[in-house]
Structure 1
Amino acid sequence: MGMSPWIVSDELWDHLEPLLPKRERRFRYPGRRPLPDRDVLCGILYVLHTGIQWEYLPKDLGFGSGMTCWRRLRDWNEAGVWQRLHEVLLAELNAAARLDWSRCVVDSSHVTAKRGQHTGPSPVDRGRAGSKHHLITDGHGTPLAVLLTGGNRNDVTQLLPLLDAIPPVRGRVGRPRRKPDSLFADRGYDHDIYRDRVRARGIVPAIARRGTLHGTGLGTYRWVVERTFAWLHGFRRLRIRWERRADIHEAFLQLACCLITHRQCKLLC
């Protein structure tokens, strides 16, 4: 029987532990000993995988309270832990020549949002409040960056921010890399001004044009980002946005990208 997906593996913990902020010990009034970070992370992963509300987190599994897990998720996100973990994992893939820099692929996906920041009337869900996940992957579908916007935000407005969000990826000799050779996108990104801006960055745009027949061949390369969205939304907490605060939902998004990238790293073993 396999290990529960919310149990933190030794490999993932070895990557993550050095990145966590260290808490100062109080010697005069030490108070109650805080719950170990690894146990709290298991609770956060439990919520991410099952979609359960924080207040219903089972205490008998040793995760601590939902509020404890929520606070650590918030604090670690503010400290940039998930971003740095993602960069460490991408560097590991890059060192093994397992990132495909010949192209990147962008797309977005709409999710229902119950409330909060970065929501807007959805054009695909009868005007109901929603948010969008904007994703850029390498040619294999490994997530490079993810952004959150309101559901009414036009996809093309996030094209350049997604390119800017690709971190400097180390792992090879020379300067860190953060720019793919080409960019693939569907008709939602069909604007010549953005093609020009992508070219100005030294990236070849391969963006489908509106009004052309399907079967142009771009789908041969774009399907990887759709698969990655399926992986992302395999985490139940990301299928519907429950969080009022955008930073908490973004923390879940970044953590999920880290877990997907970590799976790719495990394939190297």
Structure 2
Amino acid sequence: MISDLVPDDLWARIAPMLPPPPQRRHRYTGRHRTCDRIALAGIIFVLRTGVTWRDVPRQEVGCSGVTAWRRLRDWTEAGVWPRLHVAILTELRTARLLEMDDCAIDGSHIRALKGGAHTGPSPVDRGRPGSKHHVIVDRHGTPLAVSLTGGNRHDVTQLMPLVDAIPRIRGLRGRPRHRPRCLYADRGYDFDKYRRLLRHRGIAPKIARRGAPHGSGLGKTRWVVERTFAWLHQFKRLRIRYEIRADFHLALLQLACSIICLRRLRTSF
């Protein structure tokens, strides 16, 4: 089961990024430290199935949910997940599998059952506490950057932060790539102020106008971001936010993006 949850190619990429284990100060060390790969399997098990941390089956996974949660905490504080995402994006660009000329952006509501930072009354769920996933993708739906906000935040408030959050992706000769040429978005982003900000960065805005009749043709390019949300929500832990700490939920979101990018890298060979 460990190899199913943490395949060899994923482990080979993440293992060098993990911080070294803490040094024991006492002569009698007690229990042996759980292997990092087994702890990662526990994290991915929760991400895929959506079970609570206490319900992680120790005999099947190899570690308790508490151990997996602590390792998620340590690796999140060490900044492992953004570095893993950037590393896989670099491999995709090396293989010429990233098409960043045309990108799309959108947001998606989820419920937040336990509250916490980056939650707010959701306008699409009767004012119940909720959060929003925001993602910007390339032409194939490969997630380039993600963010987490409260459910009452307007999508357009994350337009420029997401554009600026696209990492400088190396992999080919020349300057690292971090800006699209065109950005597609729906009517929720229809503000001339943000069109000017995009043009100032050398990005052509392809944003639908409010009140204009449907059939502009932008959906032929923008649909990939909706498919990416479908990929993300296949990870059941991301359908509803259970984590009180926003950085933990964002860490799981970034891990899911890395797995999606790795899947695209696998299917190219």
Structure-2 change in CA distance of 1:125 and 1:27 (3 Å): closer
Of the candidates 21, 24, 29, which is equivalent to residue 23 of structure 1? 21
User: Please, what is the CA RMSD of the aligned residues?
Assistant: 1.3
Conserved? CA contact 2:2–2:41, under 8 Å: no
How far 1:34 moved relative to its partner?
0.7
Aligned residues: 267
Deviation string, structure 1 residues 60-99 (Cα, Å, up to 9, x no partner): 1143111110111111111111101111100011011110
The AA in structure 1 aligned to 2:20 is K
**d(CA) in 2 for partners of 1:62 and 1:219?**
42
d(CA) in 1 for partners of 2:34, 2:102: 43
Secondary structure at the aligned position of 1:64 is classed as coil
Q: What's the CA shift for 1:176?
A: 1.3
CA apart distance, 1:193: 0.2
For 1:63, the equivalent position in structure 2 comes to 62
Distance 2:62 2:147 in 1: 28
Kindly provide the CA deviation profile for residues 123-161 of structure 1, in whole angstroms up to 9, marking residues without a partner as x: 111111110000000111000011000000000000000
User: 1:43-82 counterparts in 2 under 5 A?
Assistant: 43-82=42-81
* Aligned mates of 2:3, 2:263 — CA distance in 1: 12
TM-score, structure 2 normalization: 0.96
- Residues 73-152 of structure 1: pairs in structure 2 closer than 5 A: 73-114=72-113, 115-152=115-152
CA contact (8 A) 1:47 1:57 kept: yes
**Aligned with 1:14: secondary structure?**
helix
Structure 2: gaps (5+ residues): none
Q: Report the Cα distance in structure 1 between the residues aligned to 2:178 and 2:106, rounded to whole angstroms.
A: 18
**SS of the counterpart of 1:105?**
strand
Specify the code of the residue in structure 1 equivalent to 2:48: H
* Residue identity in the other structure for 1:211: G
3-state SS of 1:172 partner: coil
The residue aligned with 1:201 is 201
Q: Distance in 2 between matches of 1:48 and 1:210?
A: 37
Per the normalisation by structure 1, the TM-score is 0.96
Measured in 2, the distance between the counterparts of 1:194 and 1:217 equals 21
Query: Which residue of structure 1 lines up, in the alignment, with residue 38 of structure 2?
Result: 39
Aligned to 2:145, the other structure's residue is in SS state strand
Identical residues among aligned pairs (%): 58
- What is the CA-CA distance between 1:28 and the residue it aligns to? 3.9
Aligned residue for 1:210?
210
Query: Partners in 2 of 1:211 and 1:80 — Cα distance?
Result: 43
Report which stretch shifted further, 38-47 or 62-71. 62-71
Structure 2 distance, partners of 1:221, 1:78, is 36
Deviation at 1:17, TM superposition (A): 0.5
Q: Secondary structure at the match of 1:112?
A: strand
Q: Structure 1's 128 and 24: CA in aligned 2 closer, same or farther, altered over 3 A?
A: closer
> What is the CA–CA distance in structure 1 between the aligned matches of 2:158 and 2:244, rounded to whole Å?
22
